[in-house]
Structure 1
Amino acid sequence: MSAHARAVRAALALGLAVPLLTGCLEESSPHEAVREFLVGWQTGDYASAARRADANPATVRKALADAKQQLDAASIRFSIKGITRDGDTARADFHAEVDLGENTPLWEYDGSLPLRLVGGRWKVRWSPSVIHPDLRPGQRFAVATKPQGRQPILDRHGDPLQNETVLYVAGVYPAEIKDPERLCGELSRVTGFAQDRLLSRIRSAPPKDFVALATFGRTKYAQIHQRLRAIQGIRIVTDNAPVAPKSPTQIVGRVSAITPEAEQALGGPQRAGDSFGREGLQRAYQDQLTGTTETSVVILDAQTGRQIKELQAWRPVRKPTPVQTTIDSRLQSAADAAVVGPRPAALVAVQASTGHVLAVATNQLHQERDALAGRYPAGSVFSIVAADALLRSGFNPEQRVPCTPERSVGGARFQEPGVLTLQTPTFRTDFAQGCVTALASLARRVDGEAIRVTAARYGIGVDWELPLRTFSGSLPRADSDAAVARIIAGQTVQVSPLAMALVAAAVNTGTWRPPVLVTSPSTLPEPSSDGARRPEAQPVRLDPGTVTKLRELMRAGVTSGMARAAAAPGGAVHGVAGLADHIEGKKRTSLSWFVGWQGDVAVAVMAASDDKSAAAAIAGSFFRNARVRL
């Protein structure tokens, strides 16, 4: 809204508050003087206000402008409570609302304007008490703030997921500054912060308090430190802030000092020295981690800076508190080591009995966009869900199902390269080997709706939310044998590694559980991207008999199938390995998958490779490094 529009709205507001003010009034009435003074003060037209005061206009203009700067006020609004007249004198009572910004509540107070007739015109009898009843000559306003330190993000054991890093804070002691306009102009040219904002911060602060004006990381400070130190009056202090993220760095998120661009993105003025989360949990829980600032409006002796009176104080509405995650730093280290290599890879580990996300590791991929929210074809590891639907329909896993190099189902063609056996294997063997042609050949044994319902029981396509972006999966409706065959083979099913880790956890425990990444606070920080809070997903108990058979099939995947590379000491590993073709634009990538568990830790691993066992090898490395014992 433009300044002119705000002035018009302000004048209308005052006119509505006292209807008589909108008419053509005789000068013998004080109403017009009250209206002109308050509207001028409210809109920043201090010259107009000063014309209605009985003091030197320059004195009045300066006093009103100084008061606004001393409060660093975003706006001041007035409403007239009443006007009384007694001969040649009058009094107007008003209510003031001062927006101090910084997420601080409005400062509201009541004041009064004494008036008298001067040469036939009503004038405001000027004194500092016109601005506030407690303000006296030789005194000034100030706004004292006490920012709260940013709190850490913690792992499941309460250890911080950040390292300390050095921040450089440029600031001043206002009492030492002889020419604040010059200083702020020079600092504005170096930092990009608006000169008027810097000046307001200095003039609104108690003179003897250190006022932080701009904060820089090590790299930025190295670029500009010589120009900063050349500004007379600027002081540089350092702060060791726990903001450098540990692994998983993209889940935890980076933290930056407030910049001019960030100030605009955050929707309003921020205090220098404040920090904001750029990504991950630091961004999602920005308000909780930083809390609100303790603020007070005080009156000071203008010469000595001594506090005379505290007019109002706002204690923190929201204290900064840590965010407790489910990340297990020991398992995270094992996951990071496991994915190291020449190929892009992602590994997600969850606690099967709770759904708690224990580790998210990637190599050449993004932990949130790819591991939690990626949309990738499931390939033959979707056979876990398809097998559940088949078993529930009465299918016998010992039935022999040919694994052929090629297969056509309803016109859809499937291939399984490298098939050499002349014997017809059982479905158990086909499952363990991830044979696509065998899986696709079973399309007539189960309909598409049954698979869709089964997939939902494993959380695929279900609405569940974390404080970060996630993807639960999707599969199309299937009205033909070809469409069902493509789903069973996982060709048209999209999933994230997180979604498949939860599938493994469901088979392990017999119950699908929604994922959990943060345990404190217990509620999500904000609604979903469409503005609506989705219903909280509930655990789903699976059919016990079917789950028992699935566990046997997944154990065979490690003991005699393509997931053998996942075997590790410390307990039996269950799992299945498979391949999928990922097409993005004109680029086709073969994806190797492993989905399984050891103990109470369920994992899904995805790696860019045409080796069906590549992901299983990463899982095996993870299990061996972790020596899983939760």
Structure 2
Amino acid sequence: MLTPEVVHPDLSVGAVLRSRLVQPPRAAITDRAGAPIVIDRPVVTVGLQPSRVTDLPVTVARAAELTGVDRAALLGRVTAAKPDAFVEVITLRREAYDAKRDALRLLPGVVLREGVRQLAPTTSFARALLGKVGPATAEIVKRSAGAVRPDQVVGLSGLQSRYDAQLGGTPGVTVEAVGPKGSPNRLVFATPPVPGTPIQLTLDPAVQQAADAALLTAPAGRTAALVVVQPSTGDVLAVANNGPQGPGLDRALTGRYPPGSTFKIASTLALLREGLTPAQTVACPATVTVSGKQFSNAENEVLGAQPFRVDFANSCNTAFVGSADRITSEQLQAAARDLGYGAYDLGVGAAVADVPVTSDPVQHAAQVIGQGQVLASPLSVAVSAATVATGRLRPPRLLMSVPATAPGPALPQAADLRALTRLVVTQGTARVLASVPGAPVSGKTGTAEFGTDVPPRTHAWFTGFSGDLAFAVLVEDSGFGGVVAAPVAGALLRGLR
């Protein structure tokens, strides 16, 4: 016969055993100096108690207006809840709640719960990269095969999810003998929780916050991304995203776009290797036709016969297309690879740049100006600028625990590339950056066509370097790189000076 004593010698008649998970403090994600980025910060969870709501449609509409949540979805959840349930509306950072506190307190049926949550310094701070922490979803619990409990706090996205086991540590367990009502509980077994291990990133908080702020200067309603790399080390200093859907989707690392004229840096490297010089005259006519396909310049620009450095500074498409037969597709691919268009293991998802070899002369001509089938992320484009700045490719690094990769061989053409990219700012399509204080700015604008509309829609790009910072700005579906993206780069640099 099974008796309580058989289960445990201290278990009395009428008592039961109750286990409880003891979760350790979550380890920090730290910046390059070792300071925690994501730490416990005060929050207020706003909720509604249906039984206390006097006019449900009006209250829900006002709550949705104040918090930005979907009104219909909130109404459905409140309607379906039990009368005395706590229906969560939103969890706000303390400072965001304080700005709306008086209005929220006036809502009939509102319930406010103070607490803490693991958060970055601001709502936009590398949000897509860092990810979120919260109660395990039903899907996560199911996928864990019993390793994760429904009440457990886990990483839900980004680095928090990728390194959840390392950051979360190992929960402890307590088992208590719970006696009949009124008798004290007795601890019969316990294992202590094992704290998680921090992750140190290469991010620089000052650069990251300047990048986040710079993206706010992009045209309203446009999706934008910005990556900053340290040329001397390859360290990624900032990963910023913004747009109508917020900063939660990491286009900076995982997006793949035609790089447009920013890719002319790679084309120029290939041309220089084949003997072209910046002083050599290269025609910039209105149009150039390749195997029946006509290529033209932005706004039908015509420069005529000019030194190549003038063509580069003014981003003349026809000068590059007309020079495409000087290099092979393989040489173009090699130049792009040597600048940093490739695949990188950052410890988190990152898109692979694609510069395919082609035997089609039209495709080759298009790829020389960063169109065709060339695709790259803002990270790859930023790395190419960093390579020009130092004359050596240093693969990007995001985790300080990963040893820095040895730099690639010196590029003999780097000095010419630096001079050409400087001309873009002093005499070319990025003159808007000529007055930025501090170290001189060099770079390349890009206006990348996409889709099938006539005239085509365009993404705006700017990539460049200044001092020990290299960067790439992308603003989706927004116009010319020199008009839209270059000013965002200027905002970044001014924010740091």
Relative to the length of structure 1, the TM-score reads 0.62
Q: Greater CA deviation, 299-308 or 150-159?
A: 299-308
- 2:284, 2:304 within 8 Å by CA — same for their partners in 1? no
Partner of 1:572: 440
- Among residues 502, 505, 512, which one is paired with 2:386 in the alignment? 505
2:415 aligned with 1:548: yes
Please tell me whether residue 407 in structure 1 is matched to residue 276 in structure 2.
no
The partner residue of 1:349 within 228, 244, 248 is 228
Residue 140 (structure 1) shift: 4.4
Q: How far has the Cα of 1:417 moved from its partner?
A: 3.6
Measure how far apart 1:167 and its partner are.
6.5
- Contact 2:241–2:250 (CA under 8 A) maintained in structure 1: no
Question: Is 2:491 the partner of 1:491?
Answer: no
Are the aligned partners of 1:390 and 1:446 in contact in 2 as well (CA < 8 Å)?
A: yes
Q: What pairs with 1:312-391 in structure 2 (closer than 5 Å)?
A: 313-316=190-193, 318-340=194-216, 341-342=219-220, 343-364=222-243, 368-391=249-272
Return closer, same or farther for 1:143/1:579 CA change in 2, 3 Å cut-off.
same
Q: Does 1:474 align with 2:342?
A: no
Indicate the larger mover: 250-259 or 615-624: 250-259
CA distance 1:220–1:420, shift in 2 (3 Å): closer
Residue correspondence of structure 1 range 233-248 to structure 2 within 5 A: 239-243=115-119, 246=122, 247-248=125-126
Work out the CA distance in 2 between the residues paired with 1:399 and 1:409: 22
1:458: which partner in 2?
339
Conservation of the 8 A alpha-carbon contact between 2:175 and 2:187:
no
Question: Could you report, residue by residue, the CA deviation over 1:38-73 in whole angstroms, capped at 9, with x for unpaired residues?
Answer: xxxxxxxxxxxxxxx4xxxxxxxxxxxxxxxxxxxx
Structure 2 alignment gaps of length 5 or more: 48-79, 93-103
Larger radius of gyration: 1
Moved over 6 A (4+): 167-170, 226-229, 584-587
For residues 447-488 of structure 1, give each alpha carbon's deviation from its aligned partner in whole angstroms, at most 9, with x where no partner exists: 11111122222232x331223322131022122433321211
Q: Deviations over 1:593-629 (max 9, x none)?
A: 21110011101112233334121222122112212xx
**Could you tell me how far apart the structure 2 residues matched to 1:353 and 1:569 are?**
21
Aligned residue type for 1:602:
A
SS at match of 1:512: coil
The structure-2 alpha-carbon separation of the partners of 1:480 and 1:540, relative to structure 1 and needing over 3 Å to count, comes to farther
Higher relative contact order (CA 8 A, sep 6+): 2
Q: Structure 2 CA distance, aligned partners of 1:268 and 1:353?
A: 46
Quick one: which of 145, 154, 157 aligns to 1:276?
Answer: 154
2 CA distance for matches of 1:262 and 1:228?
30
Q: CA deviation at 1:286?
A: 1.9
Task: Supply the distance in 1 between the matched residues of 2:358 and 2:394 (Cα, whole angstroms).
Answer: 26
Partner of 1:160: helix, strand, or coil?
coil
Identify which of 430, 448, 454 aligns with 1:563.
430
Shift in Å, 1:362? 3.1
Q: Determine helix, strand or coil for the equivalent of 2:318.
A: helix
- After superposition, the Cα gap between the structure-2 partners of 1:480 and 1:539, relative to the gap in structure 1 and judged at 3 Å, is farther
- Write the mapping of 1:75-154 to structure 2, written as runs, cut at 5 A: 126-132=2-8, 140-154=16-30
Q: CA deviation at 1:327?
A: 2.2
Note the alpha carbon deviations across 1:188-221, whole angstroms, 9 max, x for none.
x969xxxxxxxxxxxxxxxxxxxxxx99866389
Report 1:132-281 matches (<5 A). 132=8, 140-157=16-33, 158-161=35-38, 164-166=41-43, 219=90, 239-243=115-119, 246=122, 247-260=125-138, 263-264=141-142, 266-268=144-146, 270-271=148-149, 273-281=151-159
Secondary structure class of the residue paired with 2:278: coil
SS of the residue corresponding to residue 306 of structure 2 reads: coil
Instruction: Give the CA deviation at 1:349.
Output: 1.0
1:414 CA displacement: 0.9
Measure the CA separation in 2 of the matches of 1:299 and 1:156. 47
Q: Equivalents in 2 of 1:256, 1:491: separation in Å? A: 41
Q: In structure 1, what is the Cα distance between the partners aligned to 2:133 and 2:184? A: 35
Query: CA distance change for structure 1 residues 169 and 482 in 2, over 3 Å: closer, same or farther?
Result: closer
1:204-251 deviations in whole A, cap 9, x for unaligned? xxxxxxxxxx998663899xxx9999xxxxxx9853223367312222
Matched positions, count = 438
The CA deviation at 1:400 is 0.6
Structure 2 match to 1:428: 309
Q: For residues 251 and 392 of structure 1, what CA distance do their matches in structure 2 show?
A: 37
- On the 8 A contact 2:394/2:407 being kept in 1, the answer is yes
| 3-state secondary structure, aligned to 1:425 | strand
User: Is the counterpart of residue 307 in structure 1 residue 174 in structure 2?
Assistant: no
Give percent identity, aligned residues only: 34
1:521-541 Cα offsets, whole Å, 9 max, x none, are x49xxxxxxxxxxxxx95452
Deviation at 1:262, TM superposition (A): 5.1
**Partner deviation per Cα, 1:323-373 (whole Å, 9 max, x = no partner):** 322222222222223222324332211111222222223332756442211
**Aligned AA for 1:283?**
S
Aligned CA distance change for structure 1 residues 282 and 218 (closer, same or farther; 3 Å): farther
